[in-house]
């Protein structure tokens, strides 16, 4: 006999067989005997309906995602056009300023450059137009 703690009693032999309660058994629906053609048709219809609904939901999800992407692309496109328009306006203004400076430089250079009043104007318009930086704007 095995040693046991006080208060515990273990039998030397198990005399009665251990039994378990009866369990329910699930039968699968694909048993091929005793089925009517209506059952097969119903199963086909349910399978077709499930696949079709899955396809519709996937199409709807893709449509929503593409619509959101389209909105983002349009907003980005509008923002880029605004930025490009502002940049082009700045370049046009810089070009016009440079053209005015070159006209002034040409007018000063046609005069007497050795004259004390023309020399500073010549340097001023030379520096402003020939070494013009777009950063100054």
Helix (H) or strand (E) holding 107: helix 37-110
Q: Is residue 109 part of a domain?
A: yes
Global confidence as pTM:
0.46
Separation in Å, CA 107 to CA 85, 90, 103, 113, 122: 33, 26, 6, 11, 9
| Residue 81 to residue 89: CA distance in whole angstroms | 12
Q: Is residue 20 part of a domain?
A: no
CA geometry: angle 31, 36, 40, nearest 5 deg = 70
- Domain count for the chain: 1
Summarised one tens digit per residue, pLDDT across range 18-51 is: 666 777 776 666 655 677 889 999 999 999 999 9
Q: Is residue 124 part of a domain?
A: yes
| Residue 121 to residue 98: CA distance in whole angstroms | 15
Three-state secondary structure call for residue 33: coil
CA geometry: angle 60, 66, 72, nearest 5 deg = 140
Separation in Å, CA 132 to CA 49, 101, 114, 126, 137: 72, 10, 24, 9, 10
Q: Is residue 105 part of a domain?
A: yes
Q: Is residue 69 part of a domain?
A: yes
Confidence of residue 64 (pLDDT cuts 50, 70, 90): very high
Q: Is residue 67 part of a domain?
A: yes
Q: Is residue 29 part of a domain?
A: no
Residue 47 pLDDT: 96
Q: Is residue 43 part of a domain?
A: yes
Summarised one tens digit per residue, pLDDT across range 67-122 is: 999 999 999 999 999 999 999 999 999 888 888 888 888 888 888 878 888 888 88
- Name the token pair of 124: 């001023």
Domain that holds residue 112: 39-136
CA geometry: angle 8, 11, 13, nearest 5 deg = 160
């Amino acid at each position: 006999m095995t040693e046991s703690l006080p208060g515990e009693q273990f039998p030397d032999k198990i005399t009665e067989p251990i039994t378990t309660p009866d369990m329910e058994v699930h039968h699968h629906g694909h048993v091929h005997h005793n089925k009517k053609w209506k059952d097969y048709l119903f199963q086909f219809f349910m399978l077709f309906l499930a696949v079709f609904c899955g396809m519709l939901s996937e199409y709807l999800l893709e449509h929503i995602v593409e619509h959101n992407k389209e909105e983002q692309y349009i907003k980005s496109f509008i923002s880029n056009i605004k930025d490009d328009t502002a940049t082009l306006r700045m370049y046009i203004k810089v070009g016009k300023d440079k053209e005015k400076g070159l006209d002034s430089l040409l007018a000063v250079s046609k005069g007497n450059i050795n004259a004390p009043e023309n020399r500073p104007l010549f340097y001023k318009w030379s520096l402003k137009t020939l070494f013009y930086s777009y950063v100054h704007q």
